[in-house]
A and B are shown apart, each in its own frame.
Chain A
Amino acid sequence: MKIVVCIKQVPATNEAKIDPETKRIIREGLNSILNPFDTYAIEEGVRIREKFGGEVIAISMGPEKAIEVLREALSLGVDKAILLSDKEFAGSDTWATSYALAKAIEKIGDVDLVICGKQAIDGDTAQVGPGIAAHLGWVQATYVMKVEDIQDGSIKVRRMREDGYDICEMNFPAVITVLKDINTPRIPSLKRRLAARQAQIPVWKPADIGADTDKIGLDGSPTRVVKTAPPPAKKNVAKRIEGTPKECAEALVRELRMRSII
């Protein structure tokens, strides 16, 4: 089995600010972390390898600093890590991001399974995983809460639905995106951490993966963020309810109904 895990570096707090001029995230002063959902993707990849053999490769597209999350992935047990980094990639939306990642996966070659997190906590779109599958023309399963089985070139997964879940079986090569329910990620040991700090991580540019520069970066992105603003302020209408339990309950339910909460 050859598995690729896609991971993203994201700002640590969800209080990130946007530059009013460039409309870009002001990354200075923010700690960067591995997208929390991607920890589960890494763990699942490593578990599959532990059970079925093969290798797990982590890839990330981002600034040079994103090498940190690849080191994290190495300390969590992946075998290899590759960074896609170049100014041509900057400003990619989900279409362009998934295109670049798909090109890198093609370049790696002979990949059976791609695992993504459910979504990134900054962009919050959950679009990159299915986007990669579409660019590659592979099958996909999103919101995977359990890998049930892997056998003779196929994978059986449990997918979340709004009203429960289904069991879906598909042939390799395939892309899955995983929920937090899927596993409990391990904590890296000191030994692995120290080794990951020394690892050599190759950096690939658009030319290395044969990416068409019209399809990456800001210019290759069909969507454009044209404005950002703080969310509408919450108005505080503090209200105290006192009385008999019945009166309190009636008053509350009335309030909830007035606000169409129930």
Chain B
Amino acid sequence: MLHHIKNKVYHIEILPPKQDSQKLEADLELFAQKYNRVMESGYCACITDNAMGHLSFQGTEMIEELGLEVRPEQVMIHLNTFHTLEDLHNILDTCKSKGIKYLLVVSGDGSERLPKLQPSDVGAEGKVESVTSVELLKYIESKYPGTFTMGVAFNPYEPPEHEFEKLKRKLDAGASFIITQPIIEKNKIVDELLEKYPDIPVIVEAWMSRKLHLLSEAVGYEIPENTQYDPIETLKSIHKLYPQCGVYLALLGFKTQYHLIKDIWV
């Protein structure tokens, strides 16, 4: 992951189509276009796992079904705890056989319709009541030793003592890089994070939508509304503020913004 930062490789989030899409074929086409564009630019495509609890297709089945090329350094799969054990192994086996090595392991967003891993599925019965990213990390490392490079999420908007305590457990469980929730300016908690873990690659998320209220919804806590929000300018300032960090771009506009980010990271 460090070399992504050194080589200024953006992490670009792409969402697979939703399960209830009315125009599935068109959505698949669009997904393939975005994915291929990210590959050609030398960036890293980050494929979400039922983000916000919305039922969507898996990154691995998209890659298989659409016959997309996997460049190991350029693909990251998000993986949450809302799967059956069988599906989890399907996903991990596909990752392994396709040579996907980067995983972002998160507890994730559930919904009534999504199954949830049980403590007994991952050998954590009696230890926890609910499977979180910590148990999932341990389980993957035990079943697929040395196969994947796993990252975890860090939310600077949650009460810091809890978030740091949880982060420590995630790192102890085998995580080797960190991606934060979006920040739009200098953030005290992120500063503290960088100070605490100078040797762990940290990727900060940049919010590429003009709609800041969506950001509040995505992180769970209210973020002061700023009507003048300019994503591209903010991205520039984040590079200046956090030159030691990589950057993950959420909700990047492929039509309107993609061509603008080319020369920003200098």
Residues of A participating in the B interface, judged by any CB pair closer than 8 Å: 33, 36, 39, 184-191, 193-194, 197
Could you say which of B24, B61, B62, B84 contacts A184, with CB atoms under 8 Å apart? B84
Could you say which of B25, B55, B65, B112 contacts A187, with CB atoms under 8 Å apart? B55
Q: Is the CB of B24 within 8 A of A197?
A: yes
Q: Is the CB of B113 within 8 A of A39?
A: yes
**Seed contacts A184-B115, A187-B55, A193-B19; 16 additional CB < 8 Å A-B pairs:** A33-B20, A36-B112, A36-B113, A39-B113, A185-B113, A185-B115, A186-B84, A187-B19, A187-B115, A189-B61, A190-B58, A190-B61, A191-B61, A193-B24, A193-B57, A194-B25
Encode contact with A along B51-84: 1 for CB under 8 Å, 0 otherwise: 0000101100110010000000000000000001
| Chain B: CB-nearest residue to A72 | B20
What is the CA–CA distance of A209 and B253 in the complex, to the nearest angstrom? 52
Chain B residues lying within 8 Å of A36, measured Cβ to Cβ, are 112-113
Encode contact with A along B1-26: 1 for CB under 8 Å, 0 otherwise: 00000000000000000011000110
Chain B residues lying within 8 Å of A39, measured Cβ to Cβ, are 113
What is the CA–CA distance of A188 and B115 in the complex, to the nearest angstrom? 12
| Chain A: CB-nearest residue to B114 | A187
Q: Is the CB of A194 within 8 A of B24?
A: yes
B87 close to chain A: CB less than 8 A: yes
What is the CA–CA distance of A186 and B19 in the complex, to the nearest angstrom? 12
List 12 A-B residue pairs with CB atoms under 8 Å apart, sorted by A's residue number. Answer: A33-B20, A36-B113, A39-B113, A185-B115, A187-B87, A187-B114, A190-B57, A190-B58, A190-B61, A191-B61, A193-B24, A194-B24
What is the CA–CA distance of A187 and B56 in the complex, to the nearest angstrom? 9
Encode contact with A along B109-120: 1 for CB under 8 Å, 0 otherwise: 000111100000
Q: Smallest distance from the beta carbon of B102 to chain A beta carbons, Å?
A: 22
What is the CA–CA distance of A186 and B58 in the complex, to the nearest angstrom? 13
What is the CA–CA distance of A188 and B24 in the complex, to the nearest angstrom? 13
What is the CA–CA distance of A197 and B115 in the complex, to the nearest angstrom? 24
Known A-B contacts A36-B112, A39-B113, A193-B24; A188 and B19 likewise in contact (beta carbons under 8 Å): yes
Chain B residues lying within 8 Å of A184, measured Cβ to Cβ, are 84, 115
| Chain B: CB-nearest residue to A197 | B24
Q: Smallest distance from the beta carbon of B24 to chain A beta carbons, Å?
A: 7
What is the CA–CA distance of A191 and B112 in the complex, to the nearest angstrom? 23
Q: Smallest distance from the beta carbon of B59 to chain A beta carbons, Å?
A: 11
What is the CA–CA distance of A180 and B94 in the complex, to the nearest angstrom? 31
What is the CA–CA distance of A33 and B113 in the complex, to the nearest angstrom? 12
Q: Smallest distance from the beta carbon of A97 to chain B beta carbons, Å?
A: 25
What is the CA–CA distance of A189 and B84 in the complex, to the nearest angstrom? 13
| Chain B: CB-nearest residue to A31 | B20
What is the CA–CA distance of A36 and B114 in the complex, to the nearest angstrom? 12
What is the CA–CA distance of A191 and B90 in the complex, to the nearest angstrom? 15
Q: Smallest distance from the beta carbon of B29 to chain A beta carbons, Å?
A: 13
Q: Is the CB of A190 within 8 A of B62?
A: yes
Chain A residues lying within 8 Å of B84, measured Cβ to Cβ, are 184, 186
| Chain A: CB-nearest residue to B116 | A184
Chain A residues lying within 8 Å of B65, measured Cβ to Cβ, are 190-191, 194
Which residue, A33, A184, A187, A194, has most C-beta atoms of chain B within 10 A? A187
| Chain A: CB-nearest residue to B17 | A190
| Chain A: CB-nearest residue to B56 | A187
Q: Smallest distance from the beta carbon of B106 to chain A beta carbons, Å?
A: 18
Chain B residues lying within 8 Å of A193, measured Cβ to Cβ, are 19, 24, 57
| Chain A: CB-nearest residue to B112 | A36
What is the CA–CA distance of A45 and B41 in the complex, to the nearest angstrom? 48
What is the CA–CA distance of A149 and B231 in the complex, to the nearest angstrom? 59
What is the CA–CA distance of A166 and B19 in the complex, to the nearest angstrom? 37
Chain A residues lying within 8 Å of B57, measured Cβ to Cβ, are 190, 193
What is the CA–CA distance of A255 and B122 in the complex, to the nearest angstrom? 45
| Chain A: CB-nearest residue to B60 | A190
Chain A residues lying within 8 Å of B112, measured Cβ to Cβ, are 36
| Chain A: CB-nearest residue to B84 | A184
4 nearest interchain CB pairs? Answer: A184-B115, A190-B61, A190-B57, A190-B65
What is the CA–CA distance of A189 and B24 in the complex, to the nearest angstrom? 13
Chain A residues lying within 8 Å of B20, measured Cβ to Cβ, are 33
Q: Smallest distance from the beta carbon of B77 to chain A beta carbons, Å?
A: 15
Q: Smallest distance from the beta carbon of B14 to chain A beta carbons, Å?
A: 15
What is the CA–CA distance of A188 and B19 in the complex, to the nearest angstrom? 8
Q: Smallest distance from the beta carbon of B241 to chain A beta carbons, Å?
A: 40
Q: Smallest distance from the beta carbon of A36 to chain B beta carbons, Å?
A: 7
Q: Smallest distance from the beta carbon of A113 to chain B beta carbons, Å?
A: 24
| Chain A: CB-nearest residue to B21 | A193
What is the CA–CA distance of A90 and B28 in the complex, to the nearest angstrom? 36
What is the CA–CA distance of A36 and B111 in the complex, to the nearest angstrom? 12
What is the CA–CA distance of A39 and B114 in the complex, to the nearest angstrom? 12
